[in-house]
Amino acid sequence: LCSFSSCSSWLPQRVPLRGNHWQSSLLTPRTALPVRAQPKKKKKVDVKREQAQKDRMKKKLKKLERAAPELIPIEDFITPLKYSDGSRVRSLPPLSPEETERRVLLLKKWCLFKQRQDEAEKKAIQTLVESQQEALKELRLESEELYQAAIRRDEGLFPFEREGPTYTPPLPGYDPPEGKCVDITKVYTQ
């Protein structure tokens, strides 16, 4: 390299310095053309390696995709092992005849109560449906347009959310202690 720099010193400025054939262009003196032998090998090997890697990944992907997705097991339905111990047996005391009589009569009263409740529910549904049908019939007589609009499904109905009633609703002026809720649900992965 030092020899080339020496020859550049006596060359007139107009003649471009073309002695250094590794220089690709005059404008970019810093970058040089890649050296012949080694980098091309690197390119080939790189491409091959990359291809092989991609193929391996695709194969892995196909294998994983073929496996069917599994449902998360529900902990409610798995009885804990401590309850499957057969040695613990409950022994109930014998009941007196009055007690059995009382229980049987109570059971009958409960059955009657539930039957009445169920019948009331069925009756309520029936009356609701009947009154609705009557109202729709009257509406149809009034105007066909309104009837058609009423028959259509209500998009605003869903989603519908409602909290159940509580025995102890939240107190208005209560100041709860500071704390946090940590989610410790077990995460299942396939």
Partner 1 sequence: AVLSCHRSYRSRPTHGIGRYKYLLPKEGPKRKKERVQMKEISPGTEFEFGDVNIQMTSYDLCLVEHFAQYVHRLCNRLGIRVIESYAMPTKTNEVLFLEERGSKMQLDAVLTTHQRVVQIRGLSSTFAPILLEMIQSSQPEGVHLLMKQHTEADFKRRLKSRPELEELLAQMS
Among the listed residues 26, 35, 37, 64, the single contact to partner 1 using CB under 8 A: 64
Phi, psi values for residue 49, rounded to 5°: -60, -45
CB of 10 to partner 1, least distance (A): 58
Contact 14, 3 (CB under 8 A): no
> Scanning residues 17 to 46, which ones bind partner 1 (CB under 8 A)?
none
**Judged by CB under 8 A, does residue 10 bind partner 1?**
no
Q: Which is nearer to partner 1, 94 or 164 (CB)?
A: 164
Is residue 79 near partner 1 by the rule CB under 8 A? no
Interface with partner 1 includes 76 (CB under 8 A)? yes
HSE of 152, CA atoms in CB hemisphere, 13 A: 8
Work out the angle at residue 164's Cα, subtended by the Cα atoms of residues 109 and 113, and round it to the nearest 5 degrees.
Answer: 10
75 in contact with partner 1 (CB under 8 A): yes
Instruction: Please tell me whether residue 60 binds partner 1 under the rule CB under 8 A.
Output: yes
Contact 102, 96 (CB under 8 A): no
Q: The tokens 């309520």 sit on which residue? A: 124
Q: How far is CA 53 from CA 57, 65, 110, 149, in A?
A: 6, 18, 72, 61
Which residues in 167-186 contact partner 1 (CB under 8 A)? 167, 177-186
Q: Which positions touch partner 1 (CB under 8 A)? A: 57-58, 60-61, 64-65, 68-77, 121, 124-125, 128-129, 132, 136, 151-154, 157-167, 177-190
